[in-house]
Structure 1
C-alpha cells in the first residue's frame, strides 16, 4: 500500500501517528497496516494536515453563539 506525503502534517500529528502505530504493532498488527491505521486515526481526529490559511472557515459549531 503506497503511503502519501506527510510533510503537510504538524510535528504533533506526526508524533501522535508514531505512538498509535507502535500501539497497533504491540497488538500484533503488521507494520504497514499499523502505519496506515495510525494515519487514518490522525486524519479522523484532526481532519488531515495543517489547517491554517485564508479561505478556511470555522466549523459551524464554532460560528454560533449561545
Structure 2
C-alpha cells in the first residue's frame, strides 16, 4: 500500500488479499489484485494524485463483481487467453484463435 493510505484502505487491502488467498491465489497474485483494486477505488474517490481515465470512468470494482473474471457462460475472453499464453511462453499464440488458445493452455497445464 502507498504511504499515507487511510486505515480504511489498509483494511480493504487486507480483506481482498485474504479473500484471494482463500480462493487459491498465490501470495504475489493476491497482493497484486488487492493493490490494484484498492488503488482503483482510491482513484475513483479522488484520494490519489494521479488516476487513469479507465480508473475513473469505468465501473467500480464492487459494481463489476466478477463480470470480467472470465468465468461466465463463454469463459475467458480472447485477450485473457492470449495474455495467459504469453505468460506461459506458448509459441504461435498470435496466429491462434480463441479455441486454439484455450486448447494450448489446457495442454500446457
TM-score range, shorter chain: 0.5 to 0.7
User: What is the match of residue 9 of structure 2?
Assistant: 13
Deviations 1:14-66 (A, max 9, x none): 11000000000000000111011101001112218x838xxxxxxxxxxxxxx
Structure 1 length-normalised TM: 0.60
Distance 1:45 1:51 in 2: 8
- Give the structure with the higher percent helix: 2
User: What is the match of residue 31 of structure 2?
Assistant: 35
Alignment of 1:41-52 (within 5 A): 41-47=37-43, 51=47
Structure 2 length-normalised TM: 0.38
Find runs of 4+ consecutive structure 1 residues off by over 4 angstroms: none
Specify the structure having the higher radius of gyration (Cα): 2
1 or 2 for the larger relative contact order (CA 8 Å, sep ≥6)? 1
Distance 2:18 2:10 in 1: 12
Count of aligned pairs between the two proteins: 47
